[in-house]
Amino acid sequence: MFRVLIVDDEQEIINGLKLKVEWDSIGLQIVGEAGNGVAALEFLENHAVDIVLTDMNMPVMNGSAFLDYCKEQYPGIKVIVLTGYDDFEYARAAVRGNARDYLLKPIMSEELTEVLQRVKLELDNEREKYKKTTATEWKLSMFLMEMCENFVLRIAKGETNFNIQNRAELFHMNNWEHQSVSFLTLGLRQSINDETGIDRVPQLYQFPFELICREIIELTTESSILFKDNNYPNLLHIISLDNEMNKVALTDKLREIVSSKLRFELVIGSSLPVCGYSEWNEGYMGALLSWNMEVSHVQNSEIKLEEGQLNLQGSDIQALKRMHLRGEMSSFKDIIEIQLQEAYRQSKSSFVKSIFQLFLVIEGIAHETNASLSSAQQIWLRPEFALSLDTIEKANVFLMEIANHIHQHVVNAEVTDEQSVIKKAQSFIDDNYMYEITLPMLAEKYNYNPSYFSELFKSKVGKTYVQYITEVRMKHACKLLEESNLGLWDIAELTGFSNPSYFSSKFKKVFGISPTDYRQRLPRKNDSTSPKK
């Protein structure tokens, strides 16, 4: 129902107008009345109104002044002018004031109903257009937010072999590379319901937990980004431009709201400040390590995280992952032992920290290969166990048992089966089409020779790698052309093309029509959004 305000200095006229139209039947509702322009403006300040029926010749503030004010302050309101004076000046004032129509008294019922129906149709169309625009903007904002979080995650996990600067500019993060940042890792600690004595499982509350965190971040700070890592589905992560006061305020607020709304204890792991994209992986690992030690209760007077760098650097982590992927378990064991020896020589706290960090690396490999770990293999589920690994040999045996378990899982499950690999490659392309992905990069990721991988991809998918990734990108390009008003430069950026010229050329080659013409033809609807064979 659209809301109507009637403005006239004669109450009899107002009463008559109320009786001339079956307001409910045409979707309108009279929400107020006023005797002059001043009273009408006071009403508009406190009430939502869609249509105003106003006389022109009124005391205090006449219709002309009222129209001018409405045009300036309430441009969305539809005004219909009613007057008993067939005067050109009033008509001109109505036009100047953007009135939707001009009716002379006495007003005929049919004529007024027809005008109101026409104005209501305009409002219906505007509301529908607004809904579509709002829905499109929301979808686009969600798409951009997901891309931004994925951008942060890739760098945090040590991936820097893509065009970071262009992506940072797209997400308005140009200055983050040269500023100090901190990472936080958040998770809920298992609790018991006081009334029932039943364990409350944090995993069941993950969705409201995420919504609460997003809302608090939005209200508390403009310099923090929340992101998720599928390797740790029950954890949330935050990267913030380093500001100790803001970080304390944010963590205090998170703990307070999570405790009061979800009745869980919030466990927070915090990293030391890092600066530069190359250091983000260290900060992210530091927050994960801190969280694991917090949830394991090993941060006490005897064992504390010391200031300084992590024992294991990004290059070491990548080397361990490559060795495990290739099945080089002897070399894998050697690096593990070297890291433990170095940490053991430093201090007891450094040794425990090293065990946790190495475990996190191995656990990450488990997630990537879909290998499940038993509760006995989850170090933070047994707080006392971390301290019992008090020798290099004990720690090495524990860590290598898990690493070998994962390797055997890979062998038994035949993860290297060619069809499985190609499906993983397709899934990776589908999730990361907006970034630069080359065939040699994919071949290396799955430990294949590029030439062989190219032939394998074509035989399993039925099309070449280039054809497949082009189709994926074009599908999303069509969606952005249909659902947004973004320019070609932005669409090219968001769909993984190096520049708009190349994007336009490729689009025309695939569909036989330019992106601009495609968008212009949308009202008539295209026969198909599938690329030509």
Q: Are residues 360 and 275 in the same domain?
A: no
Number of structural domains the chain divides into: 4
Q: Are residues 280 and 177 in the same domain?
A: yes
Q: Is residue 246 part of a domain?
A: yes
Residue among 5, 19, 2 at smallest CA distance from 117: 2
- What is the pLDDT at residue 523? 60
Residue 189 belongs to domain with CATH number: 3.30.70.270
- What is the pLDDT at residue 198? 62
Model confidence pLDDT, tens digit, residues 250-265: 899 999 999 999 989 9
- The two tokens of residue 431 are 């999730």
Q: Are residues 282 and 347 in the same domain?
A: no
Q: Are residues 403 and 422 in the same domain?
A: no
Q: How does residue 309 score in pLDDT terms, banded at 50, 70 and 90?
A: very low
Q: Are residues 283 and 353 in the same domain?
A: no
Q: Is residue 531 part of a domain?
A: no
Q: Which domain holds residue 376?
A: 316-413
Q: Are residues 244 and 226 in the same domain?
A: yes
- What is the pLDDT at residue 89? 56
Q: Is residue 303 part of a domain?
A: no
Q: Is residue 196 part of a domain?
A: yes
**What is the spatial distance between Cα 18 and Cα 30, in angstroms, rounded to a whole number?**
8
What percent of the chain clears pLDDT 70, i.e. is strictly above it?
A: 86
Q: Are 71 and 97 in contact (CB under 8 A)?
A: yes
Q: Are residues 171 and 284 in the same domain?
A: yes
The residue with tokens 């997901």 is: 146
Q: How does residue 386 score in pLDDT terms, banded at 50, 70 and 90?
A: low
Q: What are phi and psi of 18, to 5 degrees?
A: -60, -30
Q: How does residue 469 score in pLDDT terms, banded at 50, 70 and 90?
A: very high
Q: Are 503 and 515 in contact (CB under 8 A)?
A: yes
- What is the pLDDT at residue 289? 80
Q: Are residues 218 and 251 in the same domain?
A: yes
Q: How does residue 139 score in pLDDT terms, banded at 50, 70 and 90?
A: confident
Q: Are residues 51 and 100 in the same domain?
A: yes
Q: Are 70 and 77 in contact (CB under 8 A)?
A: yes
* 79-93, 161-175, 313-327, 402-416: range with lowest mean pLDDT: 79-93
Residue at a domain's end among 380, 413, 446: 413
Residue 428 belongs to domain with CATH number: 1.10.10.60
Model confidence pLDDT, tens digit, residues 42-100: 999 999 999 999 887 778 787 778 888 888 889 888 988 887 665 545 555 555 556 67
Q: Are residues 164 and 263 in the same domain?
A: yes
Residue 20 belongs to domain with CATH number: 3.40.50.2300
Q: Is residue 140 part of a domain?
A: no
Q: Are residues 340 and 257 in the same domain?
A: no
Q: Is residue 219 part of a domain?
A: yes
**What is the spatial distance between Cα 195 and Cα 149, in angstroms, rounded to a whole number?**
39
Q: Are 88 and 96 in contact (CB under 8 A)?
A: no
Q: Is residue 304 part of a domain?
A: no
**Averaged confidence pLDDT in the chain:** 83
Q: Is residue 146 part of a domain?
A: no
Q: Are 486 and 467 in contact (CB under 8 A)?
A: no
Q: Are residues 450 and 511 in the same domain?
A: yes
- What is the pLDDT at residue 92? 54
Residue among 321, 330, 307 at smallest CA distance from 360: 321
